Amino acid sequence: MARECGGCTLCCKLMVIPELAKPKDVWCQHCAIGEGCNIYDQRPGSCRDFNCAWLMSEGLPDHWYPARSKMVLANELDGRRIAVHVDLSRPDAWRQAPFYDELKQLTAGGARQVVIYVGARAIALLPDREIDLGECAETDRIVTYQRVGPNGAEWHAEKVGKDDPRFAN
């Protein structure tokens, strides 16, 4: 991994940590904000396993550095989906330049699914439009697919239960 977290600890706020019953969007009690983890050697598996997409993908430009962009990008579904977790201190960060255009480029031709999370609200960014899916419970999953509408093929997204076969983990 060429990149390092440096002074970023944003995933310790934005992500759910089941082992600690830590909900989304609140700082972990063990986080030294902007410095690191106070229980690094004993941190839970979820923390050990998580590397954000900025850390993993050198193709993502530096301006996506989470501490500055206020967004944590996570690869899901074997890289077919990018989940964009937006810090509530800047809920419209994803709509700002250059981020919005770059997210749209990721969806071009359906190459990648992009789902934006702002608090509990989820928005599916699709090649031809966006769909506000409203509040999602932690057990909800999001599926995106193409279907034929009155004007031809169009993209669609919906919330399903975590055991729905259309959501392939």
Going residue by residue from 18 to 47, which x/- string records binding to ligand SF4, judged by CB under 6 A?
----------x-xx-----x-x---x---x
Measure the N-to-C terminal CA separation of the chain; round to a whole number of Å: 25
- Judge whether 159 and 122 are in contact, CB under 8 Å: yes
The span from the CA of 158 to the CA of 140, in Å, is 10
Residue type, 69: S
The interface region with ligand SF4, picked from 50-58, 110-118, 120-128, 150-158 by CB under 6 A, is: 50-58
Closest distance between ligand SF4 and the C-beta of residue 6, in Å? 7
Of 26 and 153, CB closest to ligand SF4: 26
**CB 30 to ligand SF4: min, Å:** 4
Residue 121's φ and ψ, nearest 5 degrees, are -85, 135
What is the C-alpha separation between 121 and 136, in angstroms, rounded? 6
Binding site for ligand SF4 (CB under 6 A): 5, 8-12, 17, 28, 30-31, 37, 39, 43, 47, 51-52, 54-55, 66, 72
